[in-house]
């Protein structure tokens, strides 16, 4: 089955770090742009970062630049999000997603919850 | 990278039609024909229902349609059905590889 499965969400203290992972199955992972999209409790969707299939191009939303880093390992069919200096504003469900280009996101994971609290 | 502007809520009766607006700027909605729309049920992942302003992904009903004029995109749902009750989000390409979403619209089918 074509799917994305996120893991790594947890309760972390403000200022802490967390690494999210996303395992892709049954499609040519390395051929696709991939993205992380988050949704704070009761709020809307927010694009966080994306990365080209070969990993050579990537970008992040301004609010996480310098703190979060998207990366991928095509040999492991895996996408990652390293999150440092976490704040309460980063608390959200984080979705891994396949981006066919220009916002055409056709495949989503089930999401993983990141809670930032002392 | 400000969020696109959507109405917080809309409502209508079964069989009626509704339109949800999505207003951005010339740097996003107005600058590209790359607006997509997503449907999201509570505690579920979003689902793509429109891409590139007015194209349907495979398997999506043609009761959903999209359009754009200037800096505002719109999603129209015709022949409303109870299962259309959900949250709807617009999304626009914003240059480089950036994307920006709208704040979301809650659709209630009365």
Query: What's the pLDDT score for residue B48?
Result: 98
Question: Does the distance separating the beta carbons of A44 and B103 come in below 8 Å?
Answer: yes
The total number of residues shown for chain B amounts to: 110
Query: What's the pLDDT score for residue A113?
Result: 97
pLDDT beneath 50: ranges in chain A: none
B57 has a chain A CB within 8 A of its CB: yes
Measured distance CA(B87)–CA(B10) in Å, rounded: 10
**Cα distance from A82 to chain B (closest Cα, Å)?**
19
Name the phi and psi angles at B46, rounded to 5. -65, 160
B56 has a chain A CB within 8 A of its CB: no
CA-nearest residue of chain B to A94?
A: B45
Whether pLDDT at B1 is above 80? no
- Residue B57 is given by DSSP the state P
């Amino acid at each position: 089955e074509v799917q994305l499965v996120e893991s790594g969400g947890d309760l972390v203290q403000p200022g802490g770090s967390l690494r999210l992972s996303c395992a892709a199955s049954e499609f040519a992972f390395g051929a696709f742009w991939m993205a992380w999209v988050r949704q704070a409790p009761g709020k809307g969707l927010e694009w966080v970062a994306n990365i080209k299939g070969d990993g050579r191009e990537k970008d992040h939303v301004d609010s996480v630049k310098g703190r979060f880093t998207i990366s991928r390992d095509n040999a492991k069919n895996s996408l990652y999000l390293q999150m440092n200096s976490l704040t309460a504003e980063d608390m959200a469900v984080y979705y891994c997603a396949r981006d066919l280009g220009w916002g055409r996101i056709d495949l989503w994971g089930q999401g993983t919850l990141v809670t930032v609290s002392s | 990278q400000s969020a696109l502007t959507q109405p917080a809520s809309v409502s209508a009766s079964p069989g009626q039609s509704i339109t949800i607006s999505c207003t951005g700027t010339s740097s996003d909605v107005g600058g590209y024909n790359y607006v997509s729309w997503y449907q999201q049920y509570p505690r579920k992942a979003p689902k793509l229902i429109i891409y590139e302003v007015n194209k349907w992904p495979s398997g999506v009903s043609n009761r959903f349609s999209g359009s754009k004029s200037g800096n505002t995109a719109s999603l129209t749902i015709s022949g409303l059905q109870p299962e259309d009750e959900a949250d709807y989000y617009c999304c626009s390409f914003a240059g480089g590889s950036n994307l920006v979403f709208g704040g979301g619209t809650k659709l209630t089918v009365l």
